[in-house]
Structure 1
Amino acid sequence: MNTTFAYGQVDDTIELIGSRASAYDELVGRFGPLLREKARLGDEFAAEEVAPPAVDPARIAAGVPVLTGQDLSLWTKGFCRSARTLLPLLARAIGMERDVSDRFKQYFGDPKNILGLAQARIEGNWKHFENTSVQLFTQPDIALYVTETVSSPVFNAIAVTMGEPFSRENWGHGHCPVCGSSPSLAMLVPGDTANSEYLVGGGGAKYLHCPLCGHDWRYRRTACAACGNEDGETREILHQDGMKCERIEACHQCGKYMLTIDLREYASPPHPDAIQMGLIHLDVIARQRQLVPVSPTLWNTID
């Protein structure tokens, strides 16, 4: 199972969110154009068949993500093209001040700067974002979000080159095997008896979704993605009445939570990145219970 951007699926998901509740109208209006263009661009990169990364089976077996430690300069042109396309839409979506937007545009105009930020994101080099934010007169989390947004279509295309078989590898870790990111969403799909250790009571198989590269990997159905806890006494499922297909998986051992959608219950599967914009009400419930998301995103950190 591997998630591409798939413009049509993203567009359908945005329409689904807009049809549910008027409370989401503003977000759909602001971020819809950005999400759609991000999807279109991601589809283009995937169709162009970008160069695949080198895969070391020994590193994978040791739990080291594919892109960790790799030189990303092979994909510099893609990062630059994505930045030129998405920065204006991103600035409008988040209401970025004109002077800040201009500084980002100038900074991202240098391929070395874009590559440095993308590399820092993969390596988890937060200090690089702190230093960059000083140069741009902004906050480190803004520099991080901009970097993730403009680099995501490229990382997604890279993940697609790994192929479907890679997504079925028994990775077993709570971080992405391609880029190392923490998952932002869990998905339940029809079960596969060939991997019975990942199923419980005949239920669906569980996949975790990477918010950066879009890769989906199989994970233990009853385990917390943050700490691996499988104790039923310290894990809890929360959902709104009549919406069991969209829920919160809470772990009281580590205090973190993961949003989960059951793809078996949808007439048409929503796109895992886009649907998260329509699940903010669940993030609010989790926050009221003093829970922290496994992976902070724009949607689960909105005040």
Structure 2
Amino acid sequence: MAESRQTVSETLAGIVERRPVLAPVLNAFAPLLEARSALPEKLSPMIEESGFVLPPWRQERAQQGAPLLAGASLKGLFPLLRKSADVLLPLLEALPGMNGYADALTSFFQNEEMCMRAADTLLTGHETALAEAAEETHLPPAVLLFALEVVVGPVLRALALKYDAPWDERASSWMQGFCPVCGSFPSISYLDKRVFDEKNAFLAGGGGKKHMHCALCGTEWHFRRGACPSCGKEGSGVMEFLRESENSRGERIDWCTKCKSYCPTVDLRECAGTPDMDAMALGMMHMDIVAAQKGLTPLKPSFWNQF
């Protein structure tokens, strides 16, 4: 039986206990992360009410590297985005660096046309369109992008939960380093724990299979340990990792020697429990600092890893 995951608060409490210096940042983000974690389940019934049609998983498109929502529109899901914004914006605006943008963000998420157009750009990655939306709303692009990802994320997670992970049904189902659902890059990856069969002590797995965790929709998928999720290069000497010499608790940075991108990683075989991955990604910001000092670029830029 798979081990249940810790809650956001449990994960953050464990990190603070090991690294008290991170407490001010983690405590500031805790209410937002906890509220965002609870939203997908609440939004799920609203999908049927909205009339939104979930696109089917098509194996042939997946083998060509097309995410599930590629080319799709989120039209019809504005009520879910409004619900998400109502819950999360007050918490978002309380964060350091976000004060002063409350009115502009509230107006933005009340404008259905503008909001949905910008939400669709998260699936296409059109930076120009996001920049234009930021200029139109008089918001810094980084602020608008962060707010969009925070608010749209739970809606996409509610959609992703409707699927029974068909991207992991066969080893060749999804071979990309970006998310099979929304196309975003992972904020963190992990190596799974050893598996023991309670009914047969002779059946066990060594663990260590790599999983990527999507920063936006929370989807997780298997990925090759020796390959770079950014540039796709693989083989001997491509992927290296950085970790503390003592008391690392499985925390490390996996980085590519070719393109110099990196992704925080946690080896669950060295952890007492299984953390919430979104909280864990924030809790590894000390490793982001180390990576920045070495001139590495985060696979998924976030509010806390831009130095």
Q: TM-score range by the shorter chain?
A: 0.7 to 0.9
Cα distance, 1:95 vs. partner? 3.7
SS in 2 for 1:261: strand
1:32, distance to aligned residue in structure 2 (A): 0.7
Comparing 148-157 with 166-175, greater Cα deviation is found at 166-175
Q: Normalization by structure 1: what TM-score? A: 0.88
Aligned to 1:195: none
Alignment of 1:70 onto 2:72: yes
Alpha-carbon contact 1:65-1:179 (below 8 Å) kept: yes
Q: What does residue 199 of structure 2 align with?
A: none
Q: How far is the alpha carbon of 1:202 from its aligned partner?
A: 5.7
Q: Which moved more, 1:21-30 or 1:101-110?
A: 21-30
Contact 1:156–1:215 (CA<8 Å) still a contact in 2? yes
Contact 2:185 2:299 in 1 (8 A): yes
CA distance in 1, matches of 2:273, 2:240: 27
**How far off its partner does 1:191 sit?**
6.9
Give the C-alpha shift of residue 273 in structure 1: 0.8
Rounded to whole Å, the distance in 2 between the matches of 1:298 and 1:18 is: 19
- Which amino acid letter does the alignment assign opposite residue 187 of structure 1? Y
Structure-1 separation of matches of 2:169 and 2:278: 20
Letter in 2 for 1:280: M
Distance of 2:18 and 2:249 partners within structure 1: 15
Please give the alpha-carbon distance, in whole angstroms, between the structure 1 residues aligned to 2:76 and 2:13.
36
1:197 equivalent in structure 2:
none
Distance change >3 Å, CA 191–CA 23, structure 1 → 2: closer
CA distance in 2, matches of 1:47, 1:263: 33
What is aligned with 1:108? 109
State the match for 2:126 in structure 1: 125
Q: Which residue of 2 aligns with 1:217?
A: 221
Report the identity percentage: 32
The answer to which structure has the higher helix fraction is: 1
Q: CA deviation at 1:203?
A: 5.2
Match of 1:300 in 2: 305
In the alignment, is the contact (CA less than 8 A) between 1:49 and 1:161 conserved in 2?
A: no
What residue in structure 1 maps to residue 186 of structure 2?
183
Match of 2:59 among 57, 60, 73: 57
For residues 99 and 122 of structure 2, what CA distance do their matches in structure 1 show?
A: 24
User: Aligned to 1:135, what secondary structure does the other structure show?
Assistant: helix
Deviation at 1:29, TM superposition (A): 2.2
In the comparison of the two structures, how many residue pairs are matched?
Answer: 288
CA contact (8 A) 1:276 1:299 kept: no
Distance 2:53 2:122 in 1: 19
The DSSP-based 3-state class of the residue aligned with 1:69 is: coil
Consecutive unaligned residues in structure 1, runs of 5 or more: 193-200
Match of 2:200 in 1: none
Find the residue that maps to 2:186 and give its secondary structure. coil
1:181 & 1:21 partners in 2: Cα distance?
29
Q: Deviation digits for residues 181-215 of structure 1, max 9, x if unmatched? A: 111211111479xxxxxxxx965111111000000
1:195-234 correspondence to structure 2 within 5 Å: 204-234=208-238
Q: Match for residue 151 of structure 1?
A: 152
Q: 2:10 aligns with which of 9, 12, 16?
A: 12
String of CA shifts for 1:211-270, please: whole Å, max 9, x gaps. 000000111121111122223324321101221511111211111111111123222211
Gaps of 5+ in 2: 196-204
Kept in 2: contact 1:65–1:180 (CA 8 A): yes
Letter in 2 for 1:243: S
Work out whether residues 52 and 158 of structure 1, in 8 Å CA contact, stay in contact via their aligned partners in 2: no
Do the aligned partners of residues 48 and 271 (structure 1) sit closer, same or farther apart at CA in structure 2, a change above 3 Å counting? farther
Per the TM alignment, residue 22 of structure 1 is displaced from its structure 2 partner at its CA by 2.1
Q: Partner letter of residue 86 of structure 2? A: R
Q: Which amino acid aligns with 1:29?
A: N
Q: CA RMSD in A?
A: 2.2
Equivalent residue for 1:136? 137
State whether residues 52 and 161 of structure 1, in contact with CA within 8 Å, keep that contact through their aligned partners in structure 2.
no
